[in-house]
């Protein structure tokens, strides 16, 4: 079930801030995606490759599909033909595989580096040092990696009621975003996406400078 009123309220809230809404439809049926699409939503996020491939085949071709889950290198080939943005890049090897698969389709796939900002151990992502190392490797091999683009960063804050803690994590992500932008992207404005904020913390994320929020349960109900 799609909460259309909530959708309209969130859109009205996001509009003045120019934040992009990615509606996270993982584990929800294609009909729910179609219901939001019919209200004008074009950006959808999915976590599982097989589920994404199945939905993509059934749904309108102008949907912009965001892959927001943990992506295994051997599955990149299934989403490369159509994916709009891959949010969860956390290794140089994955970036190279995305490049290889994108080249087969003669396209450039935009990616975000996933940064570990939460306290929880279980969440994927790079720390600051690893992100800088990855950027160094990417910069050194950029001519061989012409079919991938790094457009920004993605992060998930701790699942916590402590507003100050969540804010601080978002602030750290934003600070790293600035450092990388200054160090590697001064000559272009492609590095412009900061994907942070989910159902429980998107208001804080926007206040801390998010440009894209990923919202699932508020729109589609609990999973």
Ligand X SMILES: *Cc1c(COP(=O)(O)O)cnc(C)c1O
Residue numbers of the site for ligand X (CB under 6 A)? 24, 26, 47, 68-69, 156, 198-200, 214-217
Closer by beta carbon to ligand X, 172 or else 217:
217
Least CB distance from residue 163 to ligand X, whole Å?
16
Least CB distance from residue 47 to ligand X, whole Å?
5
Closer by beta carbon to ligand X, 19 or else 147:
19
The Cα-based distances of 218 to 41, 48, 67, 196, 221 in angstroms read 15, 20, 19, 16, 6
Q: Hey, how many other C-beta atoms are within 10 angstroms of the C-beta on 146?
A: 11
Closer by beta carbon to ligand X, 52 or else 145:
52
Q: How far apart are CA 91 and CA 212, in angstroms?
A: 22
Least CB distance from residue 31 to ligand X, whole Å?
18
Closer by beta carbon to ligand X, 109 or else 145:
109
Closest chain position to ligand X (CB): 216
The Cα-based distances of 36 to 5, 24, 57, 158 in angstroms read 11, 11, 17, 28
Residue 131: name the closest of 119, 115, 154 by CA.
115
Q: Are 86 and 111 in contact (CB under 8 A)?
A: yes
Least CB distance from residue 142 to ligand X, whole Å?
27
Least CB distance from residue 87 to ligand X, whole Å?
7
Closer by beta carbon to ligand X, 94 or else 145:
94
Strand spans (E) along 8-73? 20-24, 43-46, 64-67
């Amino acid at each position: 079930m799609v909460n259309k009123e909530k959708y309209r309220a969130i859109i009205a809230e996001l509009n003045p801030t120019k934040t992009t809404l990615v509606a996270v439809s993982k584990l929800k049926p294609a009909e729910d995606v179609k219901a939001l699409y019919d209200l004008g939503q074009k950006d959808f996020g999915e976590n599982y490759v097989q589920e994404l491939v199945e939905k993509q085949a059934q749904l309108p071709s102008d949907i912009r599909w965001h892959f927001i889950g943990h992506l295994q290198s051997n599955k990149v080939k299934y989403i490369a033909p159509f994916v709009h943005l891959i949010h969860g890049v956390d290794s140089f090897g994955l970036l190279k595989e995305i490049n290889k698969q994108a080249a087969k389709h003669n396209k450039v796939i935009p990616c975000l580096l996933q940064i570990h900002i939460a306290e929880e151990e279980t969440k994927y992502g790079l720390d600051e040092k690893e992100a800088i190392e990855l950027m160094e490797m990417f910069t050194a091999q950029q001519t061989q990696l012409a079919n991938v683009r790094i457009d920004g960063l993605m992060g998930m804050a701790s699942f916590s009621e402590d507003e100050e803690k969540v804010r601080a994590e978002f602030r750290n992500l934003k600070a790293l975003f600035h450092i990388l932008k200054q160090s590697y992207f001064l000559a272009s404005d492609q590095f412009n996406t900061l994907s942070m904020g989910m159902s429980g913390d998107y208001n804080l994320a926007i206040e801390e400078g998010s440009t894209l929020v990923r919202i699932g349960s508020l729109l589609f109900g609990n999973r």
